[in-house]
Structure 1
Amino acid sequence: MQVTYRGLWHPVHTFRGPHWCEYCANFMWGLIAQGVRCSDCGLNVHKQCSKHVPNDCQPDLKRIKKVYCCDLTTLVKAHNTQRPMVVDICIREIEARGLKSEGLYRVSGFTEHIEDVKMAFDRDGEKADISANVYPDINIITGALKLYFRDLPIPVITYDTYSKFIDAAKISNADERLEAVHEVLMLLPPAHYETLRYLMIHLKKVTMNEKDNFMNAENLGIVFGPTLMRPPEDSTLTTLHDMRYQKLIVQILIENEDVLF
């Protein structure tokens, strides 16, 4: 399988009836496995032609069946937005009524209610109702936002940049560490960078209400470290070893969001 920025090219695809390659405009020969299809935008091309198609397709909304568990870049391109609307809607709701809530993001809401919010977004998209009338406990909304990040197939801090962020966190000199973090941030795909930037601005607001919610940058780093970044290899040992650096990276991003982004 060839995985690219535009989504997933299926290895081979069997088309019913005659089909023409949408790249070279030539006929696709054969009765089975005539070519490949992009799972995002539905583009049909010869297997060889798929290597030459630009990686900037506009995913077809009809192919995006859900919001959660969907690739971040695919989702924002499909909806033509800068960030996933789940992030915008949840943060807007949290800032409207939850910034002073004690243990914000640390306290868990009921799992079944968080799943309800997830299903509402998957079913209704931006029309999902997460207001206080439906979910009076703000911890359900924070739980739904954290779940969105955990469910991403590629974390906000991508697998490609994970080790670079960990290495940056290990630098002892604070100024050099901050510069290293900034350099790695520049390597994030646009949708991931913008989502992270928006979230850090929000989390900075949370820390500004610390006297009420008792959540500072370090506490939020503990919560969001493993939520926003996961090691490429599924190793419990690596995860445990890296937890303090994950926490530190998020803490640095929150405390320095105005400089880093």
Structure 2
Amino acid sequence: CLALQTYKLNGSSCTISESLHLHPCVSLTVYQLQQEAPRPKRITCPQEMESRPKYYGREFHGIIPREYADELLAGAEGAYLIRESQRQPGTHTLALRFGHQTLNYRLFYDGKHFVGEKRFESVHDLVTDALITLYIETKAAEYIAKMTTNPIYEHLGYTSLLKDKMVHRLSQGKGTLLWKPIKLLASCPQISSPLVRRSALKDTQEKQCSYEKIHNFKVHTFRGPHWCEYCANFMWGLIAQGVRCSDCGLNVHKQCSKLVPSDCQPDLRRIKKVFSCDLTTLVKAHNTTRPMVVDMCIQEIELRGMKSEGLYRVSGFSEHIEDVRLSFDRDGEKADISASAYADINIIAGALKLYLRDLPIPVITFDLYSKFIQAAKLPNAESRLEGIHESLLQLPPAHYETLRYLMAHLKRVTLFEKDNLMNSENLGIVFGPTLMQPPELNALTTLNDMRQQKLVVQLMIEHEDVLF
């Protein structure tokens, strides 16, 4: 039982319950209370109700006054019935006896039964869960209120394993991710801006940056007893007792999920695919600075496709691009995208664009989209670069590093313009809508912003050595 584990605190060994200044067995109190909660008692209607909805059973009593329902439930803790509203025919109320009083809840059905967020296969399960929650919140209200005040999250389980992993990675020289904000070459004579001067001073500086990631919590139903990995307390209820991070597997109470730090370490076993996976999630799962899709595709393109006419503009066969996507999703970094598998380099270029376009959060994130657009609208060339530079520094590290690597590649593509006919403006037209999308899917907004999208990418390519 997690609640009875021990850990080192200030050099001494103590139990979780001791750290909470509670009785040694109090961590099991909530579990015991769930076992003691009243059991549902269905009050059946003695006569057949023709108006009874097909998804209710004999607990449905039709249109009866609230007072009569109270009489039927009196004296039986956990008793329940369903009645139709007198004031609003067609709507239904769950009448439940708890704490020597009748509680009335508006009852809904949309394929499952619910009165709040949780949805149940049967009314019986709904009532069971309600009685557990009501009983625990009544008997242990003070205890529940204090559950998160002294969490064991940093002393046990997930965080300890996280620290061990990070120490191991650092010992291998891969744990620290270095991010150079600016690497300026004195190769931009037409611009002598504060950006250039400031960057020149930072030429030898390196900024350490950890790839922080918030947990991807989703409501989860646990089979069998489960304890919260943040506060170490029992997760009560019949279904949807808490939330689980779908990326790393952390299990916590819903209220505790709001207090958990942004230290998610995705587990590769939980990452089902490569395409359409959050960028930061993917790089953390693989312990890389950029998605391997970007690295592998760019390396293949630079190996055999830099002189290909219309590179990135000419489309490869969509079914072959889909094959590449399935190969990455299935085989990851072992995917074969060599010339022997796909002779047409436009297929690899198309797969790279598809990957970037399908990211749930674009490389230029939704929350920074407007800042890049506004920067591109500035009339002064120096101000435009300043605005784009300031926006770049606000990108999440994984997004920044992916964009930096891609722009350096596209800059090299333009060096072969005589052969591939792709200059920075043409590449801006191609990659503008691929790398940045407005937060709200609005066709008019997208159309109005196309010029700025193109210009942002064009400037990042042309001034890659200044901006990155």
Structure with larger Rg? 2
Q: How does 1:33-48 map to 2 (within 5 A)?
A: 33-48=240-255
Aligned counterparts of 1:249 and 1:56: Cα–Cα separation in 2: 32
Aligned counterparts of 2:267 and 2:419: Cα–Cα separation in 1: 44
Amino acid at match of 1:9: F
Aligned counterparts of 1:8 and 1:142: Cα–Cα separation in 2: 31
Partner of 2:285: 78
Aligned residue for 2:254, secondary structure, equals coil
Contact persistence 2:312–2:346 (CA under 8 A): yes
Pick one of 116, 136, 143 that aligns with 2:323: 116
Pick one of 297, 305, 308 that aligns with 1:101: 308
Task: Describe the superposition over 1:152-207 as per-residue Cα deviations: whole angstroms up to 9, x where unpaired.
Answer: 11110000000000000000100011001000001110110000000000000000
Aligned counterparts of 2:367 and 2:287: Cα–Cα separation in 1: 24
Pick one of 441, 444, 447 that aligns with 1:237: 444
Task: Give 1:212 shift.
Answer: 0.9
Partner of 2:339: 132
Partner of 2:405: 198
Amino acid at match of 1:188: L
Percent of aligned positions that are identical: 79
Task: Give 1:117 shift.
Answer: 0.4
Where do 4+ consecutive residues of structure 1 move more than 6 Å? Answer: none
Matched, 1:258 2:465: yes
Matched, 1:8 2:220: no
Pick one of 67, 87, 92 that aligns with 2:299: 92
Aligned residue for 1:53, secondary structure, equals coil
Task: Give 1:8 shift.
Answer: 2.2
Partner of 1:170: 377
Aligned counterparts of 1:48 and 1:231: Cα–Cα separation in 2: 32
Task: Give 1:38 shift.
Answer: 0.8
Q: What is the RMSD of the two structures over their aligned residues, measured on CA atoms? A: 1.2
Between the two proteins, the alignment pairs up a number of residues equal to: 258
Contact persistence 1:217–1:251 (CA under 8 A): yes
Aligned counterparts of 1:169 and 1:122: Cα–Cα separation in 2: 36
Amino acid at match of 2:235: M
Pick one of 337, 342, 352 that aligns with 1:145: 352
Query: Which structure 2 residue ranges, 5 or more long, are not aligned?
Result: 1-116, 118-211
Aligned residue for 1:36, secondary structure, equals strand
Query: Which structure 1 residue ranges, 5 or more long, are not aligned?
Result: none
Aligned residue for 2:399, secondary structure, equals helix
Partner of 2:230: 23
Whichever structure has more helix as a proportion of its residues is: 1
Pick one of 246, 256, 275 that aligns with 1:68: 275
Matched, 1:224 2:431: yes
Whichever structure has more strand as a proportion of its residues is: 2
Amino acid at match of 2:455: L
Contact persistence 1:6–1:40 (CA under 8 A): no
Task: Describe the superposition over 1:94-141 as per-residue Cα deviations: whole angstroms up to 9, x where unpaired.
Answer: 000001111110111000000000000000000000000010100000
Contact persistence 2:215–2:263 (CA under 8 A): no
Amino acid at match of 2:231: C
- TM-score scaled to structure 2, two decimals? 0.54
Amino acid at match of 1:226: P
Task: Give 1:7 shift.
Answer: 4.0
Aligned residue for 2:430, secondary structure, equals helix
- TM-score scaled to structure 1, two decimals? 0.97
Aligned counterparts of 1:106 and 1:194: Cα–Cα separation in 2: 24
Contact persistence 2:433–2:450 (CA under 8 A): yes
